[in-house]
């Protein structure tokens, strides 16, 4: 079925004109004179495009647009609004409400049809994103060769054997790119491109000119006609495909920025003046140059419009009621998105001070209203050319900057990687050193101690009668010191191993480990009577060996520090808190002062004298490191003489995972 | 078969050697204890070469007490060569060392040690260890029958 176009306009002339044009273009027009008729038509079924007059006899076109945008069935329908130029407020409302295009009356029929087809094509393209390429070539051999290459490169190919046929197919099919031979029967390639460039609906299509001759002039002619690229046939089909891909990429990126699209589409000029007579004259003169002209009556209107529509050039009257030209200019030039748009100040005054006033407000140029329009048009052209140069230069600068940034980023990333690798190496080396160190400690520091202890013992045993009581007591202290040093070495080695060991998490029954540790403790000191309570079924994903070491230390401490309490109690359990499970070991022993709590977990820190409670001061540092390795936390609460509670958390980790 | 009653103690530290002798003496282990001061000497004794070329090579020790950190040839290398030789492959070797490093324990068993014992710093505990080693390896343990050459 043909795509449907709903034309809503109270003017019979407009309806007939558009209906005829759309029918020729192969669409199915539905005509309505009022908003009510349009609603009835829409309720019968969706259409593909709506052409909507702003002023309808029974209501407001923008209100109807709002209904269309709010209805699920027509939300994505393309809407082109028609309006007379005076109503700039309607243009703003229309674009804000969601119009896809806003065309001023008197409209150009061909442009309206072209825009409508463009929207239809955009919808079709979203279904099939293969690029369609029109090949205009009279030689069947080369045409077939090129067509085959294009097909296998994933393009959809359309063909024409003459310039006339090509232009017809271009208008009818709206290809994504045109490849045209320079020499054709009838109109030649350069003329085809020139005509394409003159057609409002086609001028955005990238064109590639082919030629058989290596003639410098033909290239200039082609570029002059508006070709995007120029290829000699001798250079081969592969090069044509490469150039084609490049111009399509360019066209695609141009479409991303609306400002950039306007480089190829009709230029839009915003004219701001409080005199309707002058505005009409200006509009007439500029439309003759194929510019799209928007007329605003005041600075306020102009600023409001610029917020919703981008333009290519602004003509601004200096003397206006309200905001005035100077202030309007200043505001436009201070807005990020429009500051680059060329602004030409217009004034009736022919004096230097007005000129300086305008330029100091940020205007790019200045022209007297009394000048001929030809001069004004030339100035407009010059400003837009300047803008285009600047855009291109900026584009080149941005590209260079981007490349520089990329290079710098790549260098930074490489340096970072090198630094990291060096650090990892250094760390590994240090780890090896540390390992070698603790290995030596493990071997070499123990042996002399064994000598000290062993020979002291032999002295005590075999030469006891030759020593007095004091001598024997000294020897006992030598032995005690040697043994204590042995314990220190063992504990230190354990601490250092825990930092190096691979963490191997499995599901473990912590309750059972707790029971086992307490059983060991009471086996070693069967005379102690301690009430031990272990909460059942504490299951945890952690390194079982390390958790056992932690519990040996914590429960061992509890055991040790309750040794002077009559009814000793030790409890191991867990409680649920907002952050998760918190395990605790509680005793009613000696406790410690919270004032020293910060020293608890540092190695060699002891809060009790060795005479009172023996120990190396490494146990809690070891526990701390074990908890750390499990991504958990440890803290303690205590009151002197009331016992202590140690709390710890273990963060959930991957089973079997190492860190 | 006739048991040789010989213990080969491979130990470079004279203090440790004397203490080990004292510990065995204390625990009434009245065996002949041969001391090798380094790995090379231990291998010469076992294979009756070098300074031990004249010894009766049929008499093998009942157990070798082997330290790991040794001059010239270290303990693990001694163990490797002992296990590689047909004459000594079934000889009981007890690693008796200061270390309790996991990798030493694993390497020792991988190379075929029969036991791994850490020398305690406390002499009382050391004597107890010596007593138990003597009881186990010299009394309870059954040796593999000697090969006929």
| Domain over A130-261 is classified CATH 3.40.309.10 | no
**Interface with A, mutate which of B123, B124, B128 (most A CBs under 10 A):** B123
Q: Which residue of B has its CA nearest to A456?
A: B123
pLDDT of residue A555: 94
Q: Does A449 touch chain B (CB under 8 A)?
A: yes
Please provide residue A317's backbone torsions phi and psi, each rounded to the nearest 5 degrees: -75, 140
For residue A656, what are the CA distances in angstroms to A233, A626, A653, B112? Answer: 66, 16, 9, 29
CA pair distance A552, A439, nearest whole angstrom: 24
Contact A240, A218 (CB under 8 A): no
Q: Provide DSSP, A83-107.
A: EETT-HHHHHHHHHHT-SEEEEESP
Element housing B129 (H / E): helix B123-135
CA pair distance A306, A270, nearest whole angstrom: 9
Q: Do B99 and A442 touch (CB under 8 A)?
A: yes
* H helix runs in A265-360, sequence order: 276-287, 299-306, 325-334, 352-360
Q: Which residues of A530-559 are buried (b: 16+ CB within 10 A; e: fewer)?
A: bebebeeebebbbbbebbbbbbbbbbbbbb
Tell me the Cα Rg of chain A: 44
- Chain B residues in contact with A498 by the CB 8 A cut-off are none
Query: Domain locations in chain A?
Result: 4-125, 130-261, 268-371, 393-491, 501-648
CA pair distance A200, A171, nearest whole angstrom: 11
The alpha carbon of residue B143 is apart from the nearest alpha carbon of chain A, in Å, by 31
pLDDT of residue B114: 95
pLDDT of residue A253: 43
CB atoms within 10 A of CB B92: 18
pLDDT, mean of each 10-residue run, chain A (659 residues): 87 91 89 91 87 88 87 81 73 80 81 83 66 90 89 87 89 88 85 82 82 67 73 79 74 41 63 88 82 86 82 88 87 80 82 75 81 82 81 82 88 91 90 80 81 90 89 89 85 81 87 93 90 91 91 93 90 89 92 83 78 81 90 90 92 62
CA pair distance A655, A508, nearest whole angstrom: 11
Nearest to A79 by CA among A104, A48, A108: A48
Give the A:B interface size as CB pairs under 8 Å: 59
- Chain A residues in contact with B19 by the CB 8 A cut-off are 450-451, 454-455
**Interface with B, mutate which of A432, A438, A446, A546 (most B CBs under 10 A):** A446
CA pair distance A282, A596, nearest whole angstrom: 88
Nearest to B93 by CA among B66, B75, B130: B66
Q: Which residues of A78-97 are buried (b: 16+ CB within 10 A; e: fewer)?
A: bbbbbbebebbbbbbbbbeb
Q: Do A449 and B121 touch (CB under 8 A)?
A: yes
CA pair distance A646, A556, nearest whole angstrom: 12
Contact A471, A503 (CB under 8 A): no
pLDDT of residue B80: 95
What are the beta bridge partners of residue A552? none
CA pair distance A61, A94, nearest whole angstrom: 9
- C-alpha torsion sign, points A352, A357, A358, A363: positive
- Give the distance between the most distant pair of CA atoms in chain B: 44
- Chain B residues in contact with A439 by the CB 8 A cut-off are 99, 101
Task: Give the CATH number of domain A4-125; options: 3.90.700.10, 3.40.50.2300, 3.20.20.70, 1.20.1440.130.
Answer: 3.40.50.2300
CA pair distance B76, B82, nearest whole angstrom: 10
Q: Do domains A4-125 and A130-261 have the same CATH topology?
A: yes
Tell me, letter by letter, the H, E, C secondary structure of A130-194: CCEEEEECCCHHHHHHHHHHHHHCCCEEEEECCHHHHHHHHHHHCCCEEEEECCCCCCCHHHHHH
3-state secondary structure of A431: helix
Nearest to A292 by CA among A274, A317, A309: A309
Residue A125 CA, chain-centre distance (Å), reads 26
Please provide residue B75's backbone torsions phi and psi, each rounded to the nearest 5 degrees: -60, -40
Task: Give the CATH number of domain A268-371; options: 3.40.50.2300, 3.10.310.10, 3.40.50.300, 3.40.50.10860.
Answer: 3.40.50.2300
Element housing A18 (H / E): helix A12-24
CA pair distance B25, A219, nearest whole angstrom: 111
For residue A534, what are the CA distances in angstroms to A433, A518, A537, A570, A580? Answer: 42, 9, 9, 8, 19
pLDDT of residue A259: 36
User: Considering CB atoms only, which of B15, B22, B98 is closest to A443?
Assistant: B98
Q: Write down all domains in chain B, each with its CATH number in brackets.
A: 6-139 (3.40.50.2300)
- Give the distance between the most distant pair of CA atoms in chain A: 138
ipTM computed for the complex: 0.78
Q: Provide DSSP, A502-555.
A: PP--EEEEHHHHHHHHHHHHHHH-TT--EEEEE-S--EEEE-HHHHHHHHHHHH
The per-residue pLDDT of chain B, averaged, comes to 87
pLDDT of residue A117: 83
Contact B133, B94 (CB under 8 A): yes
Q: Does A458 touch chain B (CB under 8 A)?
A: yes
Element housing A658 (H / E): none
The per-residue pLDDT of chain A, averaged, comes to 83
Nearest to A621 by CA among A613, A629, A612: A629
Which tokens go with A343? 């602004």
pLDDT of residue A601: 86
pLDDT by residue for chain B (149 residues), tens only, comes to 456 788 999 999 888 899 888 888 887 777 789 999 999 999 999 999 988 888 888 888 999 999 998 888 889 999 999 999 988 999 999 999 888 788 889 999 999 999 999 988 888 888 889 889 988 988 888 888 765 44
3-state secondary structure of B35: strand
For residue A25, what are the CA distances in angstroms to A19, A178, A303, A443, B110? Answer: 10, 20, 37, 96, 89
pLDDT of residue A124: 67
Nearest to A33 by CA among A68, A7, A71: A7
Q: Do A454 and B97 touch (CB under 8 A)?
A: no
- Chain A residues in contact with B120 by the CB 8 A cut-off are 450
3-state secondary structure of A265: coil
Q: Do B97 and A443 touch (CB under 8 A)?
A: yes
CATH topology for A501-648? Heat Shock Protein 90 (3.30.565)
CA pair distance A309, A341, nearest whole angstrom: 12
CB atoms within 10 A of CB A319: 16
pTM comes to: 0.45
Q: Do A450 and B99 touch (CB under 8 A)?
A: no
CA pair distance A215, A217, nearest whole angstrom: 5
CA pair distance A548, A305, nearest whole angstrom: 75
For residue A182, what are the CA distances in angstroms to A189, A208, A233? Answer: 4, 10, 10
CA angle, A427 then A429 then A430, to 5°: 65
């Amino acid at each position: 079925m043909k795509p449907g176009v709903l034309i809503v306009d109270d003017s019979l002339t407009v309806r007939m004109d558009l209906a005829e044009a759309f029918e020729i273009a192969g669409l199915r027009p539905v005509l309505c004179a009022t908003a009510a008729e349009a609603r009835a038509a829409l309720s019968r079924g969706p259409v593909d495009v709506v052409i909507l007059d702003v002023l309808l006899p029974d209501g407001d076109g923008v209100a109807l647009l709002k209904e269309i945008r709010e209805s699920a069935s027509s939300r994505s329908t393309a809407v082109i609004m028609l309006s007379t130029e005076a109503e700039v407020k309607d243009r703003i409302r229309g674009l804000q409400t969601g119009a896809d295009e806003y065309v001023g009356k008197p409209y150009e029929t061909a442009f309206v049809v072209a825009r409508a087809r463009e929207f239809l094509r955009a919808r079709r393209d979203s279904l099939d994103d293969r690029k369609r390429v029109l090949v205009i070539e009279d030689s069947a051999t080369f045409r077939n060769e090129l067509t085959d290459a294009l097909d296998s490169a994933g393009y959809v190919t359309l063909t024409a054997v003459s310039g006339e046929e090509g232009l017809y197919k271009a208008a009818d099919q709206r290809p994504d790119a045109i490849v045209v031979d320079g020499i054709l029967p009838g109109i030649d390639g350069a003329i085809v491109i020139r005509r394409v460039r003159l057609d409002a609906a086609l001028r955005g299509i990238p064109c590639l000119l082919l030629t058989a001759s290596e003639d410098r002039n033909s290239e200039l002619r082609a570029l002059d006609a508006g070709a995007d690229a120029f290829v000699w046939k001798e250079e081969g089909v592969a090069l044509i495909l490469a150039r084609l891909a490049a111009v399509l990429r360019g066209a695609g990126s141009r479409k991303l920025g609306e400002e950039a699209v306007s480089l190829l589409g009709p230029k839009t000029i915003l004219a701001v003046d409080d005199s309707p007579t002058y505005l009409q004259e200006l509009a007439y003169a500029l439309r003759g140059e194929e510019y799209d002209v928007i007329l605003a009556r005041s600075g306020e209107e102009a600023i409001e419009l610029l917020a919703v529509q981008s333009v290519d050039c602004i003509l601004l009257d200096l003397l206006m009621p309200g905001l005035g030209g100077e202030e309007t200019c200043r505001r436009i030039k201070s807005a990020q998105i429009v500051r680059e748009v060329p602004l030409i100040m217009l004034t009736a005054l022919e004096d230097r001070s007005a000129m300086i006033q305008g330029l100091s407000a940020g205007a790019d140029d200045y022209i007297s209203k009394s000048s001929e329009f030809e001069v004004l048009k030339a100035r407009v052209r010059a400003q837009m050319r300047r803008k285009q140069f600047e855009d291109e230069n900026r584009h080149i600068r941005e590209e260079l900057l981007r490349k520089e940034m990329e290079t710098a980023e790549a260098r930074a990333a490489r340096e970072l990687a090198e630094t990291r690798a060096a650090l990892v190496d250094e760390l590994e080396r240090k780890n090896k050193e540390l390992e070698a160190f603790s290995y030596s400690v493990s071997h070499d520091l123990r042996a002399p101690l064994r000598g000290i202890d062993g020979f002291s013992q032999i002295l005590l045993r075999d030469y006891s009668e030759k020593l007095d009581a004091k001598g024997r007591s000294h020897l006992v202290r030598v032995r005690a010191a040697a043994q204590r040093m042995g314990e220190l070495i063992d504990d230190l080695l354990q601490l250092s191993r825990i930092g190096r060991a691979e963490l191997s998490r499995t599901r473990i029954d912590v309750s059972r480990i707790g029971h086992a540790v307490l059983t060991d403790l009471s086996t070693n000191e069967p005379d102690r009577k301690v009430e031990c309570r272990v909460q059942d079924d504490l299951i945890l994903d952690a390194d079982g060996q390390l958790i056992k070491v932690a519990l040996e230390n914590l429960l061992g401490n509890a055991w040790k520090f309750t040794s002077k309490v009559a009814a000793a109690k030790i409890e191991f359990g867990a409680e649920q808190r907002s952050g998760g499970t918190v395990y605790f070991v509680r005793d009613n022993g000696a406790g410690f002062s919270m004032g020293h709590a910060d020293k608890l977990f540092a190695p060699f820190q002891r809060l009790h004298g060795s005479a009172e409670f023996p120990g190396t001061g490494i146990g809690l540092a070891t526990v701390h490191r074990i908890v750390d390795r499990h991504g958990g936390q440890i803290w303690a609460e205590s009151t002197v003489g009331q016992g202590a509670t140690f709390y710890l958390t273990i963060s959930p980790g991957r089973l079997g995972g190492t860190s | 078969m006739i048991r040789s009653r010989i213990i080969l103690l491979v130990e470079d530290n004279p203090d440790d050697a004397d203490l080990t002798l004292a510990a065995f003496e204390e625990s009434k282990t009245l065996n002949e204890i041969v001391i090798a001061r380094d790995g090379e000497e231990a291998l010469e004794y076992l294979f009756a070469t070098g300074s031990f070329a004249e010894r009766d090579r049929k008499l093998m020790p009942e157990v070798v007490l082997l330290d790991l950190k040794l001059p010239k040839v270290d303990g693990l290398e001694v163990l490797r060569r002992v296990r590689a030789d047909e004459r000594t492959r079934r000889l009981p070797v007890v690693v008796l060392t200061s270390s309790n490093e996991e990798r030493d324990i694993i390497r020792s068993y991988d190379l075929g040690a029969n036991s791994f014992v850490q020398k305690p710093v406390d002499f009382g505990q050391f004597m107890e260890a010596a007593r138990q080693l003597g009881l186990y390896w010299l009394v309870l343990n059954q040796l593999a029958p000697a090969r006929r050459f």
